[in-house]
Amino acid sequence: MKKICIFCGSSPGSEKSYQQAAENFGELLVDKGFEMVYGGGSTGMMGFIANAFLAKGGKVTGVIPGFLVAKEVGHNGLTEMIEVESMHERKQKMADISDAFVALPGGMGTMDELCEIVTWAQLGLHTKPIGILNINNYFDPFIEFMNHMVSQRYLSKVNRQIIVSDKNPEELLRKMQNYDPPVAEKWLDRHRT
């Protein structure tokens, strides 16, 4: 696990503590020798963690569609910026060049990225660790919803283990480094009519 892809919001959120947690996490990743891959933005949570990473001398690769560069939201100080054609290509490129994925607070784009990378893992397209840094309990409703999906038999207990989460950044990284990809039948009730 060398390059960690960060999914997070282009908005700062409602609490100053989100910014502090993103910056602290970026610094921690640099201290532990990780490189960062993300969506290439300069604002909100994306900007906070990228700037903290860069300030500590870390390597940051951004992947951004051309239409977002044109709207001037791309970060100009990254180690590397990869421009792609579409949002779909962005997600694929980030997945291809990353060894693991961590979601921090964000909106629909963050959830889209997180859910898609989990779906790819369910389908056996990759076995890379996926984590949620649950800052300020932000992801509690999502975690509860995943458990609800298990109870309703739309997500297997085995596939529920694809996502690890923690409020403590060090503990989250430990869980991810010890991640053993689950192997499960995709369809829970394939033969039920």
**Residue showing tokens 């790819």:** 120
Sign of the Cα torsion 101, 178, 60, 103 reads positive
189 pLDDT band, cuts 50/70/90, is low
Backbone angles phi, psi at 95, to 5 degrees: -65, -40
pLDDT in the model for residue 73: 87
Q: Looking at the domain assignment, is residue 110 inside a domain?
A: yes
Q: Looking at the domain assignment, is residue 65 inside a domain?
A: yes
Distance of CA 100 to the CA centre of its chain: 8
Nearest to 163 by CA among 149, 175, 150: 175
pLDDT in the model for residue 69: 83
Q: Looking at the domain assignment, is residue 190 inside a domain?
A: no
pLDDT in the model for residue 190: 60
Q: Looking at the domain assignment, is residue 64 inside a domain?
A: yes
Strands 3-7 and 163-166: unpaired
How many separate domains does the chain show? Answer: 1
162 pLDDT band, cuts 50/70/90, is very high
Query: Residue 192 has which token pair?
Result: 């039920």
Q: Looking at the domain assignment, is residue 17 inside a domain?
A: yes
Q: Where are the alpha helices (DSSP H) in 42-107?
A: 44-55, 66-70, 87-97
Domain of 13, in residue numbers: 3-130
Sign of the Cα torsion 139, 36, 177, 18 reads negative
Instruction: Look at 181 and 111; give whichever has higher pLDDT.
Output: 111
pLDDT at 191 over 60: no
C-alpha–C-alpha distance, residues 55 and 42, integer Å: 14
Domain harbouring 81, CATH code? 3.40.50.450
pLDDT in the model for residue 184: 64
**Residue pLDDT, tens place only, 52-100:** 999 999 999 999 999 988 776 899 999 999 999 999 999 999 999 999 9
For residue 131, give the amino acid letter. Answer: G
pLDDT in the model for residue 187: 59
Q: Looking at the domain assignment, is residue 153 inside a domain?
A: no
Mean pLDDT of the chain: 94
pLDDT in the model for residue 192: 58
pLDDT in the model for residue 71: 77
Does an H or E element contain 133, and which? strand 130-133
Q: Looking at the domain assignment, is residue 75 inside a domain?
A: yes
Q: Looking at the domain assignment, is residue 96 inside a domain?
A: yes
